Copies of this chain bind each other. A is one copy, B any other.
Amino acid sequence: MNDKAFQDYYPDELSYCYGCGRLNEQGLQLKSYWDGDETVATYTPRPYHIAIPGYVYGGLIASLIDCHGTGTASAAAYRAAGRDMGTEPALRYVTASLNVQYLRPTPLGVELEVRGRVKELGQRKVIVEAEVRAEGELCARGEVVAVRMPEWMKPRP
């Protein structure tokens, strides 16, 4: 694994994402990495990320899949172009659609592992499949359709 996460290559103005921006102090600061042809991120939910006591909130699981998905899309686009992440122009992705299947209740209090795989990589669109595990058990499966961030979508003051 590379020491630097995908999200650490994002330009500053795109690093305020609540899910994965390194400059969002209240956010989750998810970090995603290559692991061979797969991507991986780990996250330990906070004690208050509750669905019912003892289990992880589904919206948090959706958030992890979302950010790991767009991060994976970006990394895969750079890799396919034979470019290093962080080189200009930035290849950044936003979520067009997100699908999550909750397969079993996810226990709270342990680290979750999110694994991503690129299912389809086009010029403008990347589809990423993701799985979320707790203690080795598959708890949720998801799919992110990520599209290149349009030029007009700039940070708003």
Contacts and interface: CB of A to CB of B under 8 A. Distances in A.
Interface of A: 13-14, 16-19, 21, 24-27, 46, 48-55, 57-60, 62-63, 66-67, 94-102, 105, 107-108, 149, 153-157
A41 to B, nearest CB: 14
B52 A153 contact: yes
> How many monomers of this chain does the complex have?
2
A95 to B, nearest CB: 5
A12 to B, nearest CB: 10
A17 B156 contact: no
Given A54-B157, A96-B102, 15 more contacts: A14-B52, A16-B50, A18-B48, A18-B57, A18-B60, A24-B48, A27-B50, A53-B155, A58-B94, A59-B62, A62-B63, A62-B100, A63-B63, A96-B101, A107-B156
A149 to B, nearest CB: 8
B102 A100 contact: no
Nearest to A144: B58
Contact of A59 (B16, B18, B53): B18
